[in-house]
């Protein structure tokens, strides 16, 4: 839908430019130099990502399939994204977006990519249990001066179809995601 408006807008702009060019050729327009100005300000991010948080691995260890059949998901395991050298004069909040391929049966949860048909998905939450859906910006975290720690949790959840049909696929599993930090 946006593409259609862009094309119409581009056509209108092209006609406007052509009309003004013809008018200018007849001597009806005056040429003005340097009449478009661009301004901005380049600033630093309020915090730096601690290198230890640049690549996080969350190992769920051994997950028993019968536990998932009974409880649908594992207990959450905590992990931390650590930000350092936070300067609150540059910003006092950070928004986080976790990006990755979502489960078809459990939107907002991360699809397990290996094996693809495992019947498992990965979920994330805050320590209080508030879900953190993938591919959506989550509520902003308040920053602390110096070092800020974003404590989050991950868990494994069985997809409804695999749980109902008792078809969870045993074996190793993995999934990949990316997190993006934005300072509003």
Gap between the Cα atoms of 168 and 42, Å rounded: 51
pLDDT in tens, 85-142: 999 999 999 999 999 999 999 999 999 988 888 999 999 999 999 999 999 998 899 9
Residue 62 lies in a domain: yes
Number of domains comprising the chain? 1
Please name which of 124, 120, 147, 5 lies closest in space to residue 56, comparing C-alpha atoms. 124
Instruction: Grade residue 29 by pLDDT with cuts at 50, 70 and 90.
Output: low
The DSSP element (H or E) to which 163 belongs, if any, is: helix 160-165
Gap between the Cα atoms of 60 and 79, Å rounded: 12
Residue 53 lies in a domain: yes
Residue 9 lies in a domain: no
Instruction: Give buried/exposed letters for 84-110 (b at 16+ CB in 10 A, else e).
Output: eebeeeebbebebbbebebbebbebbb
| pLDDT tops 90 at residue 26 | no
Look up tokens 């868990």; give the residue: 155
* 79 against 2, higher pLDDT: 79
Residue 170 lies in a domain: yes
Structural domain boundaries, residue 131 = 48-182
3-state secondary structure of 12: helix
| pLDDT recorded at residue 27 | 57
CATH code (residue 60): 2.60.40.1090
Residue 88 lies in a domain: yes
| pLDDT recorded at residue 1 | 39
Residue 91 lies in a domain: yes
Q: Residue 112 is encoded by which pair of tokens?
A: 């397990």
Residue 12 lies in a domain: no
The answer for residues whose C-beta is within 8 angstroms of residue 83's C-beta and 6 or more apart is: 47, 48, 49, 50, 53, 94, 143, 147, 148, 149, 150, 181
| pLDDT recorded at residue 5 | 38
Instruction: Grade residue 18 by pLDDT with cuts at 50, 70 and 90.
Output: very low
Which residues in the chain belong to E strands, given as ranges? 48-49, 77-86, 93-99, 110-111, 120-125, 141-142, 146-158, 178-182
Answer left, alpha or beta for residue 27, where phi above 0 means left and psi between -120 and 50 means alpha. left
Q: What share of the chain is helix, strand, coil (3-state, %, to 5)?
A: 20, 30, 50
Its pTM stands at: 0.75
| pLDDT tops 50 at residue 17 | no
Residue 136 lies in a domain: yes
């Amino acid at each position: 839908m946006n593409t259609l408006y862009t094309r119409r807008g581009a056509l209108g702009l092209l006609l406007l430019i052509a009309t003004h060019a013809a008018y200018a050729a007849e001597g009806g327009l005056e040429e003005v130099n340097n009449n478009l100005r661009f301004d901005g300000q380049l600033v630093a991010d309020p915090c730096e990502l601690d290198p230890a948080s640049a690549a996080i691995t969350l190992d769920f260890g051994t997950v028993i399939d019968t536990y998932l059949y009974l409880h649908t998901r594992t207990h959450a395991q905590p992990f931390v994204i650590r930000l350092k050298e936070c300067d609150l004069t540059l910003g006092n909040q950070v928004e986080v977006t976790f990006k990755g391929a979502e489960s078809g049966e459990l939107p907002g949860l991360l699809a397990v990519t290996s094996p693809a048909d495992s019947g498992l998905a990965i979920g994330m939450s805050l320590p209080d249990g508030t879900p953190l859906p993938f591919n959506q910006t989550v509520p902003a975290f308040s920053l602390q001066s110096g070092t800020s720690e974003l404590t989050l949790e991950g868990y494994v959840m069985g997809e409804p179809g695999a749980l109902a049909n008792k078809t969870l696929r045993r074996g190793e599993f993995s999934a990949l995601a990316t997190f993006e930090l934005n300072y509003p």
